[in-house]
Amino acid sequence: MDAADDMARRLLAGERPALARMITWAENADARFAAALALVYPRVGRAWRIGVTGPPGAGKSSLVNALIEKLRERASTVGVLAIDPSSPYSGGALLGDRIRMEERTTDPGVYIRSMATRASHGGLARAAVDALDVMDAFGFDWLLAETVGVGQAEYEIAGAADTVLVVLCPGAGDGIQAMKAGLLEVADVLVANKSDLAGADQLVTDLEDALALRALSRNRRRTPLVVPVSAHDGSGLDALLAAIEAHRRELEGGDLAALRREKRVRQVRRVVGERLDEVLFGSAGRTEQAAALLGKSRTPYDVAEELLGSILASTHRTRA
């Protein structure tokens, strides 16, 4: 039995060390990961994936912690992927979310994994979807993916989650920022967190007004709900879970399979792009060629066109 077969067998048997090791394979782009994933992939797709995103300081980690508690009260198992900024020294995750959720790590129905962003700038680490797939195959009922909170460019979360929560809070200009940004576009539920603070009611009103205007201008079939929540005292959490479950029923009553397939196609395109970049620029030759062409006062677009032309010509010659 090779390493991939053994890892898949142990994962499906419920061994947590195998879960941790297989996610590490995904992070490190280990060649064994693809083979192991293929063996467990029939188990992928059972968990409901919730993406938690929003600006820094909105209380995403506190909200995830509170959601874990609520879901565990319902006897559901929960896997959490906390995307942390990369350490400038080691390249690893800073583990801030792991520390804040420390009391959950001893619960056998909860698994928390931190992952560094590394080269990713969209809020999700490159291997985040792979890690969620592994947790899914392991058998968790719910998966929570919390992003770094880089602000307005968190579109990647929509490609990894079934339900996207955008978390905002009063007093930080979040309502205005959300209106100007694409955060409203990716949200399935808008969470007005820290609802026990002054200004929370105004934030809810601003968000509802912004959603109403956007729905009129873009003819959206569905307007996201705005749910005021306090992760600190627990108020609004039941309403938030009800909103998530309503969104789940809506998707399951429609064409959930087609929506998930569309997101998988985006994943395939991303993987193909990464592989092509590795093949084309993994060696110094083509990089040096690009540098030489740029040294002749060629624009980056001219250089790209010439390189692409030579690559396509080489491909045609190989096929012939």
pLDDT for the residue 18: 98
C-alpha to C-alpha distance for 84 and 23, rounded to whole angstroms: 15
Ordered structural domains, the chain, with CATH: 1-42 (no CATH), 44-254 (3.40.50.300), 266-319 (no CATH)
Tokens of 173: 């200009």
**What percentage of residues in the chain have a pLDDT greater than 70?**
79
C-alpha to C-alpha distance for 294 and 82, rounded to whole angstroms: 40
| Tens-place pLDDT, residues 82-91 | 887 654 444 4
Cα-to-chain-centroid distance, residue 32: 23
Widest CA span of the chain, in angstroms? 70
Distances (CA, A) of 34 to 37, 43, 109: 5, 15, 27
| Tens-place pLDDT, residues 231-276 | 889 999 999 999 999 999 999 998 899 989 998 888 888 788 877 8
**Other residues' Cβ atoms within 10 Å of the Cβ of residue 212:** 11
pLDDT for the residue 275: 78
3-state SS assignment for residue 23: helix
| Mean pLDDT, the chain, integer | 83
Higher pLDDT: 236 or 213? It is 236
Q: Which of 242-246, 308-312, 314-318 has the highest mean pLDDT?
A: 242-246
Tokens of 36: 């192991």
pTM (two decimals): 0.85
Specify the DSSP element, H or E, that contains 290: helix 284-294
Crossing angle, helix 128-138 and helix 3-12, to 10 degrees?
60
- Range name among 104-113, 245-254, 280-289, 298-307 with the lowest pLDDT average: 280-289
Higher pLDDT: 213 or 166? It is 166
| Tens-place pLDDT, residues 3-24 | 999 999 999 999 999 999 999 9
Pick from 40, 13, 37, 11: nearest CA to 26: 37
3-state SS assignment for residue 151: coil
Contacts of the segment 88-97: beta carbons below 8 A, 24+ positions apart: 91/116, 91/118, 92/116, 96/61, 97/61, 97/64, 97/146
pLDDT for the residue 172: 64
C-alpha to C-alpha distance for 246 and 252, rounded to whole angstroms: 10
pLDDT for the residue 290: 86
For residues 221-232, average pLDDT: 86
Crossing angle, helix 31-40 and helix 16-27, to 10 degrees?
130
